[in-house]
């Protein structure tokens, strides 16, 4: 049997996706999956939800890899660098200033604000001592806290605080139906773009001086990485809210299993992220069936446990990047 993690994650994803299509309040026992009513449930609710979960997990995992390459630190992800809070601030500004703005304008504002907050984070960490690697996630969390305080204050003043809780604190897929998840395909396209530029991100991760000596333009790759992270985060935040820990734990797991060859490991990272979020979504739907727990709450507990285990366990043998 092949031992490639991409194969194993993909193999796990198939039964999880099938279970996602079958699990719900309108289960097989009620007969709701038979006839026209069952077809409506499958096509308008469960199929879009399953796709949304897969796209979210895959895109956030890839964005986490890109973020870690940009700052050369494996303890960061878009949810801990102020990127999500920046996207929420952009959405809040549009909803407060132009409530009837079309969806494309909201997405543009969210992406621009996420891009600005991520750029600010990168500017801050460049001033840190190179050997103080633990200061990088600390600065990210401080920046995220400041931006979240601003978002909360503006939301309170504009009577839009309920939207803030949806964007930053839910990670909720129960409201996903056909017509309300398609923006996540944009996040998926950004993840594919990151895969096409995987070699450039890998070289950038060696450091700007070495990247320049190898003929790479670090500024151009940095801008591309910023766009990927900002677009993925903005689409996810606007559609389902921020899902924590995915972009942190999955890249670290695949790196330990496969080494630093990004082009080879990115498919496994994407599939692993999709499988993790799908498993947590199913767990949230089954723990208090027929009620649901938000996947963000499940991952907040499970993801924290996985991350602590990764910190405690010494890195084992990994395959060489070549």
228-243 pLDDT, tens digit each: 999 999 999 988 888 8
User: Is residue 271 within 8 Å of 216, Cβ to Cβ?
Assistant: no
Decide if pLDDT at 252 tops 70: yes
Residues 278, 173, 266, 168: what is their CA dihedral angle, to the nearest 10 degrees?
-130
CA distance 269 to 292: 27
Q: What domains are there in the chain, each with its CATH number? A: 44-312 (1.10.3470.10)
User: Is residue 273 within 8 Å of 8, Cβ to Cβ?
Assistant: no
pTM for the whole structure: 0.89
Average pLDDT over residues 281-307: 86
Percent of the chain with pLDDT over 90: 43
Nearest to 76 by CA among 280, 225, 197, 192: 225
- Please give the structure tokens belonging to residue 7: 């194969």
pLDDT of residue 34: 52
Q: Give start and end residues of each alpha helix (H) in the chain.
A: 5-22, 35-41, 47-71, 83-97, 103-125, 135-157, 161-169, 184-196, 198-204, 208-213, 218-239, 246-258, 262-287, 295-312
Decide if pLDDT at 32 tops 50: no
Average pLDDT over residues 167-175: 79
Coil, strand or helix: which one is 11? helix
């Amino acid at each position: 049997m092949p031992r490639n993690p991409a194969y194993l994650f993909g193999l796990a994803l198939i039964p999880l996706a099938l279970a996602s299509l079958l699990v719900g309040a309108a289960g097989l026992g009620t007969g709701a999956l038979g006839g026209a009513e069952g077809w409506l449930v499958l096509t308008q609710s469960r199929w879009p939800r399953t796709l949304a979960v897969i796209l979210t997990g895959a895109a956030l995992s890839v964005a986490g890899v890109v973020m870690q390459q940009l700052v050369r630190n494996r303890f960061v992800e878009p949810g801990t660098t102020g990127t999500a809070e920046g996207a929420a601030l952009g959405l809040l500004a549009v909803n407060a200033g132009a409530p009837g703005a079309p969806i494309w304008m909201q997405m543009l504002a969210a992406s621009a604000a996420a891009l600005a907050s991520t750029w600010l984070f990168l500017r801050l960490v460049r001033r840190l001592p190179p050997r103080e690697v633990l200061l990088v996630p600390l600065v990210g969390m401080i920046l995220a806290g400041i931006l979240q305080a601003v978002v909360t204050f503006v939301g309170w003043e504009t009577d839009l605080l309920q939207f803030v809780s949806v964007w930053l604190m839910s990670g909720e897929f129960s409201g996903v139906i056909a017509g309300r998840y398609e923006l996540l395909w944009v996040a998926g396209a950004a993840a594919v773009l990151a895969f096409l530029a995987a070699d450039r991100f890998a070289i950038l991760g060696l450091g700007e001086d070495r990247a320049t000596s190898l003929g790479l333009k670090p500024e151009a790759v940095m801008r591309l990485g910023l766009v990927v992270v900002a677009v993925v985060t903005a689409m996810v935040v606007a559609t389902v809210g921020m899902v924590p820990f995915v972009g942190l734990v999955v890249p670290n797991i695949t790196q330990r299993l496969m080494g630093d060859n990004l082009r080879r490991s990115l498919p496994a990272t994407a599939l692993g992220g999709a499988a993790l979020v799908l498993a947590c979504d199913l767990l949230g739907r089954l723990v208090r069936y027929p009620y649901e727990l938000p996947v963000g709450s499940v991952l907040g507990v499970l993801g924290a446990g996985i991350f602590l285990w990764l910190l405690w366990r010494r890195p084992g043998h990994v395959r060489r990047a070549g």
